[in-house]
Amino acid sequence: MVTQSQDLDLLLGSLGSIGEVAITVKELFSSLGVECNILELDQVDDGANVQEVLSEITNQRTVPNIFVNKIHMGGCDRTFQAHQSGLLQKLLQEDSTYDYDLIVIGGGSGGLACAQEAAILGKKVMVLDFVVPSPQGTSWGLGGTCVNVGCVPKKLMHQAALLGQALSDSRKFGWEYNQQVKHNWEIMTEAIQNHIGSLNWSYRLSLREKTVAYVNSYGEFVKHHKIKATNGKGQETCYTAAKFVIATGERPRYLGIQGDKEYCITSDDLFSLPYCPGKTLVVGASYVALECAGFLAGVGLDVTVMVRSILLRGFDQEMAEKVGSYMEQHGVKFLRKFIPVMVQQLEKGSPGKLKVVAKSTEGPETIEGIYNTVLLAIGRDSSTRKIGLEKIGVKINEKSGKIPVNDMEQTNVPYVYAVGDVLEGKLELTPVAIQAGKLLARRLFGGRLEKCDYINVPTTVFTPLEYGCCGLSEEKAIEVHKKENLEVYHTLFWPLEWTVAGRDNNTCYAKIICNKFDNNRVIGFHILGPNAGEVTQGFAAAMKCGLTKQLLDDTIGIHPTCGEVFTTLEITKSSGLDISQKGC
Ligand code: FAD
Ligand code: NA7
């Protein structure tokens, strides 16, 4: 039996075109015994404005444009499809018939942000978070990837490596010490894990304060609006909700070769590894691989990176090569154009000894190497294939497992939304997941319209020499705008701190890419140098405000800093002039 809903809005008439279609939808609702609020756009004074706003918030200009219980249903076809599948009837039920207004699956960056914001807006919210242990048996607490096995531990390990560099610089600044300096992996890891433990606890407290129900169970859809939660002991409980947000993130991928799951570790295991990994092979060449290789080498380990094709796919390749060559000059070995085909255990232990056989991607050559640890960083798979999405008809990209959404993070099933790393075609970064989660909750429950802006998102690769960027890579800029429409300004620079320390004077590099036909607007910002993340953050705000080359020239620098280099960029790449630094 369908309950009558006061909350059904039918926006009709596209200023001239109420078709038969719309009338049929009206008939459908009347046959279901549902009263709807109908706004005939061509019969109200501000119909055109309403249509503008509607197209802004729903991405749909056509009519009818239907909302059921504040959920955007879509047009005629989607409404009839939903009716056929029974979903429409479900949506027409009052929200109060469900246990929760919102259930969020996944308590990571995006899920927690969304759940807490919805609770602040007065909604009854539940978060399910469950960590399936890695093949090596590692698991962790509430907070998701970033806090437990991502940004937080990796930045702290990067800091451990930077301190080692600072120690050696310090002798040049007059510090005298006689003890032999060595690094203790166990002390570092314990301190980092203690910090993470305090973060796990603070997340739990924060959920409790906001009266979000937290359930440490694995969530899986069983039917429309209903989820099964299975805890660590295998006990099952079902919950219902009016709306759902999928924020289940990703987990590291394995190679699918002999010995990989038995003997290799991933970033999920590295940050809590109870013993020093020793001589390490890192497989993969994207930012997770290079960051891990960088800090492992920085704390004194023998590190080799096995690269299948290029470094830092998706990033500016000139910058990527500079990141790699700095690492190479500072002790990291690179095996280019090889992929592992077998991992074999030679000795057990902590760490043990592993033999890796690899083959060339360009010919029949094979090589072997002996390592204590093999770290796989070859990408991450979305956690979307075992959460019952097929039971409720949520579409995923079958190849990647990613979830396609519209620009309001809504899936093809109108009451199911998704945020964070599971999204197709979006950036996989913590602040992006948080922003999307928060804005989604505000749109769903707070009457707000702001959408997450995925353009000009800054990021930093925390390799030994940090690489910060915002906007387009040079390759992408050329692809989008054509080379002749661009001007690239660049320079090498020598941070003052590096001069006395006797460090390389032609390594740090700054580059901006400007669109000549849009007032020399900065469309790509790139810096390779110390504190690149801190520098990039401020310029990213400026890019949001439409930063141009002239505005950079008009800005007075802060001396002596690395960031000031962007206020004095003069040499264009096209001029071919020498950018090397002769002195300070
Ligand atoms: P996650 O944070 O991954 O959270 C998903 C949660 O859902 C997890 O706790 C998972 O166990 C849980 N879950 C999964 N399935 C279920 C289920 N069925 N039921 C219940 N719970 C479930 N980003 C940055 O911005 N800066 C960085 O420096 C950075 N460094 C990184 C370093 C590494 C090594 C890695 C791996 C990632 C890094 N990232 C970084 C990326 C960042 O961690 C992610 O973008 C972010 O965590 C995504 O958030 P999310 O909410 O989508 O998913
Ligand atoms: P990415 O960005 O997906 O990169 C994967 C890297 O691993 C990349 O260098 C790949 O080389 C390489 N790769 C992939 N498969 C293989 C195999 N089979 N053998 C050897 N090398 C391989 O993954 P990340 O782990 O760095 O980051 C994923 C997300 O995690 C990131 O967006 C953050 O949100 C956190 P390729 O260039 O394809 O030749």
Residue-by-residue DSSP string for 330-375:
TT-EEEETEEEEEEEEEE-STT-EEEEEEEESSSS-EEEEEESEEE
In 124-184, which ranges are continuous DSSP H helix?
Answer: 144-149, 151-172
In a domain, 554, yes or no: yes
CATH classification at residue 364: 3.50.50.60
- For residue 182, count CB atoms less than 10 angstroms from its CB and return exposed for 0-12, middle for 13-18, buried for 19 or more: exposed
Which residue of 155, 286, 288 sits with most ligand 2 atoms within 8 Å of its CB, as the best mutation to test the pocket? 286
- pLDDT tens series, the chain, 584 aa: 333 333 445 554 433 333 344 557 777 776 665 667 788 888 888 888 888 877 877 878 888 888 887 777 888 888 888 778 777 777 776 566 999 999 999 999 999 999 999 999 999 999 999 999 999 999 999 999 999 999 999 999 999 999 999 999 999 999 999 878 999 999 999 999 999 999 999 999 999 999 999 999 999 999 999 999 999 999 999 999 999 999 999 999 999 999 999 999 999 999 999 999 999 999 999 999 999 999 999 999 999 999 999 999 999 999 999 999 999 999 999 999 999 999 999 999 999 999 999 999 999 999 999 999 999 999 999 999 999 999 999 999 999 999 999 999 999 999 999 999 999 999 999 999 999 999 999 999 999 999 999 999 999 999 999 999 999 999 999 999 999 999 999 999 999 999 999 999 999 999 999 999 999 999 999 999 999 999 999 999 999 999 999 999 999 999 999 999 999 999 999 999 999 987 64
Which residue of 288, 323, 428 sits with most ligand 2 atoms within 8 Å of its CB, as the best mutation to test the pocket? 288
Residues 226 and 89 in one domain: no
List, in sequence order, every beta strand (DSSP E) within 385-485.
416-418, 459-461, 467-471
In a domain, 4, yes or no: no
Which of the residues are catalytic? 559
Q: How far is CA 436 from CA 114, 257, 491, in A?
A: 8, 37, 36
Residues 302 and 373 in one domain: yes
Residues 269 and 244 in one domain: no
Cβ(293)–Cβ(305) below 8 Å: yes
Residues 26 and 77 in one domain: yes
Q: How far is CA 28 from CA 19, 21, 88, in A?
A: 15, 11, 11
Residues 442 and 474 in one domain: no
Cβ(114)–Cβ(419) below 8 Å: yes
In a domain, 451, yes or no: no
Contacts 24+ apart (CB under 8 A), 26-29: 28/79, 28/80, 28/83
Residues 388 and 242 in one domain: yes
Interval between CA 421 and ligand 1 midpoint (Å)? 7
The pLDDT score that the predictor gives to residue 18 is 34
3-state SS, 150-166, equals CHHHHHHHHHHHHHHHH
Residues 232 and 137 in one domain: yes
Per the structure, the complete domain to which residue 482 belongs is given by 465-575
CATH classification at residue 504: 3.30.390.30
Question: Ligand 1 pocket, 409 CB below 6 A?
Answer: no
In a domain, 35, yes or no: yes
- Residue identifier of the C-alpha nearest atom 19 of ligand 2: 339
Rounded CA-CA distance 19/31 in Å is 19
CATH classification at residue 87: 3.40.30.10
Q: Which residues contact 191 (CB under 8 A, 6 or more apart)?
A: none
Query: Of 93, 118, 145, which residue constitutes the final position of a domain?
Result: 93
**Which DSSP state fits 423?**
B
Question: Ligand 1 pocket, 105 CB below 6 A?
Answer: yes
The pLDDT score that the predictor gives to residue 290 is 98
The pLDDT score that the predictor gives to residue 66 is 85
Parallel, antiparallel, or unpaired: how do β-strands 303-307 and 333-336 relate? Answer: parallel
The pLDDT score that the predictor gives to residue 44 is 82
Ligand 2 atom closest to residue 314's alpha carbon, by position in its atom list: 2
Query: Of 379, 408, 437, which residue constitutes the final position of a domain?
Result: 379
Buried b or exposed e, range 129-162, using 16+ CB within 10 angstroms: bbbeebbeebebbbbbbbbbbbbbbbebbbbbbb
Query: Of 93, 111, 132, which residue constitutes the final position of a domain?
Result: 93
In a domain, 2, yes or no: no
Residues 425 and 549 in one domain: no
Residues 113 and 210 in one domain: yes
In a domain, 1, yes or no: no
Radius of gyration of the chain (CA): 27
In a domain, 207, yes or no: yes
- For residue 422, count CB atoms less than 10 angstroms from its CB and return exposed for 0-12, middle for 13-18, buried for 19 or more: buried
In a domain, 23, yes or no: yes
The two structure tokens encoding residue 239: 């919950």
Rounded CA-CA distance 372/270 in Å is 13
Residues 208 and 118 in one domain: yes
Rounded CA-CA distance 334/284 in Å is 11
The two structure tokens encoding residue 180: 């032999």
Number of domains within the chain: 4
Ligand 1 atom closest to residue 229's alpha carbon, by position in its atom list: 19
Question: Ligand 1 pocket, 107 CB below 6 A?
Answer: yes
Residues 106 and 185 in one domain: yes
User: How many whole angstroms from its chain centre is CA 114?
Assistant: 15
Residues 233 and 299 in one domain: no
